[in-house]
Amino acid sequence: MSRKPVKKSNQSKSWMKPRRDKKILARPEYHLIVSEGTKTEPNYFKGLVKEINQSHGKGRIHIKIEGEGRNILSLLERASEHVRKDNNPIRHVWLVYDKDDFPPDDFDNTASKCETNNTKNRINNPDEFVTYHALWSNQCIELWFLLHFAYLQSDLHRDEYKPMLDKYLNDLEHGEYKKNREDIYDALRPHLKVAIRNAKSL
């Protein structure tokens, strides 16, 4: 017995569409942050990770943080080691370091080595390659913290950053600034748009 063809008027109706019994799950995204600092930067990024997990749902974006305390040239080597040893398919590696801690050649070489690595990875692994990003603070991460409160145009020595951060944080009843503060991201987060605007201007 032959089946009648489906009427053209019924083809677009929802009850005619094939049923999907299985949900298609998005693959999680894996990031690795490797910082020169061992306390300040990792604590800041831990706060960022916490916010991402709350807003995007835990498990969709995985961010691993490693505070190495190394110079910037070996930072890239250590990051590559972490990628090789990790069981997860890390797709983005962020190298975080202060500009004024190192000679200009080391600083420039790290950024260019990231680009060289990215080119090689695209050629050798066109489907799944790791992208390295050089993410530096100029001069140091405390300047980024200060930009949450004010635009600083004058050249200040990094020793002047802490008293200024103390003042701004105390005014907001967050207490004094310490390099190993675990809540630094939460204290700064309400002023993030100001920081981005000031950083772009600077």
pLDDT value of residue 135: 87
| Mean pLDDT for the stretch of residues 177-184 | 93
In the predicted model, is pLDDT for residue 195 greater than 60? yes
What does the pLDDT average to over 5-15?
A: 59
pTM comes to 0.79
Please give, one letter per residue, the 3-state secondary structure of the chain: CCCCCCCHHHCCCHHHCCCCCCCCCCCCEEEEEEECCCCHHHHHHHHHHHHHHHHHCCCCEEEEEEECCCCHHHHHHHHHHHHHHCCCCCCEEEEEEEHHHCCHHHHHHHHHHHHHHHHHHHHHCCCCCCEEEEEEECCCHHHHHHCCCCCCCCCCCHHHHHHHHHHHHHHCCCCCCCCCCCCHHHHHHHHHHHHHHHHHHC
**What pLDDT, in 10s, does the model give residues 44-81?**
999 999 999 888 777 788 999 999 887 777 888 899 99
Q: What is the pLDDT of residues 103-149, one digit of tens each?
A: 777 777 888 889 988 988 888 877 778 999 998 887 789 999 999 99
Of 4-13, 32-41, 134-143, the range with the lowest mean pLDDT is 4-13
Domain ranges of the chain: 26-138, 141-202
Architecture of domain 26-138: 3-Layer(aba) Sandwich (3.40)
**Residue 6: pLDDT band by 50, 70, 90 thresholds?**
low
